Amino acid sequence: MLSVLQLYSSSPLRNFSYLIYSDRNGEAVCVDPYDAKQIVTALKKLGLKLKSILNTHEHPDHVHGNLELKEETKATVFGHPDARGKIPGMDEILKESGVYFENEGDSLVAWETPGHTDCHFCFALQSRTGTHSVFSGDMIFNAGVGNCTRGGNPSRMYHTIKNRFYSIPDEVLLYPGHDYWENNLGFSESIEPGNHSVTEVRSLMERKTKDVDFLISDFGMERKINPFFRLNEDSVRNSKRLESKESLSEEELFIRLRKLRDSW
Ligand SMILES: [Fe+2]
């Protein structure tokens, strides 16, 4: 069985890196290393050997720790084929549905997910019974989605999320690349002021120790609080923030919300 360690870096961008590891054989992979020293310390503490560094995409805050971590551990660096030259230390390419870690029936599978950039992958942790969790990089955040202003496209993001994530089971856990809970819940509240689930989740979040302990959502929770997963709710469609009288397609509504979030 594979375990997950979430590592938070108190950079202004509130980055998360992840170690996915096997207690049984002591092997690990790292998704989006930010602070290499922090990751090396965690590897030593848990007695793990790092096999691979997996980058969700090419933005500097997701590849920040690549070279130092590679130097320390000799791990192989994987990235999107079109991001070669932008991902420091990249050795190998990621492929759609490729398996990048496996142990005792669990596997870590790459899903190509363009939208935030054209070179984006998410990683799904799967067991024999289905998907257990998703490492979503800058594609999906708690109560939000990534921006499309640095190499992305909101229409492609909509289609990726619709095809990959709208039907994902409720119990699948979401491990995003940043802690953007607070801002995103504020945006959700501005779109749907009467959404009690947002208020409930905010109080759950506020019970956590700030910058130490983080609320982990699942897709069931996202369907209650994330406006980008609520495009067919009247309260979103009729939101005063949209200032629109015409009836919008699901895709147009997604793009409209994304644009509003850009200037929120
Ligand atoms: Fe990014």
How close is the Cα of 179 to the center of ligand 1, in Å?
A: 13
Identify the bridge partners of residue 131 per DSSP, sorted by sequence position. Answer: 126
Per-residue confidence in pLDDT tens, the chain, 264 aa: 899 999 999 878 999 999 999 999 999 999 999 999 999 999 999 999 999 999 999 999 999 999 999 999 999 999 999 999 999 999 999 999 999 999 999 999 999 999 999 999 999 999 999 999 999 999 999 999 999 999 999 999 999 999 999 999 999 999 999 999 999 999 999 999 999 999 999 999 999 998 999 999 999 999 999 999 999 999 999 999 987 767 899 999 999 999 999 998
Q: Using CA atoms of 125, 113, 188, 226 in order, give the dihedral in degrees to the nearest 10.
A: -40
Residues 81 and 55: beta-carbon distance below 8 Å: no
How close is the Cα of 214 to the center of ligand 1, in Å?
A: 20
| Element housing 36 (H / E) | helix 36-46
How close is the Cα of 115 to the center of ligand 1, in Å?
A: 10
Residues 38 and 71: beta-carbon distance below 8 Å: no
How close is the Cα of 79 to the center of ligand 1, in Å?
A: 14
Q: Confirm or reject CATH 3.60.15.10 for domain 2-262, answering yes or no.
A: yes
Going from N- to C-terminal start, the domains of the chain cover 2-262
User: So what's the pLDDT on residue 245?
Assistant: 64
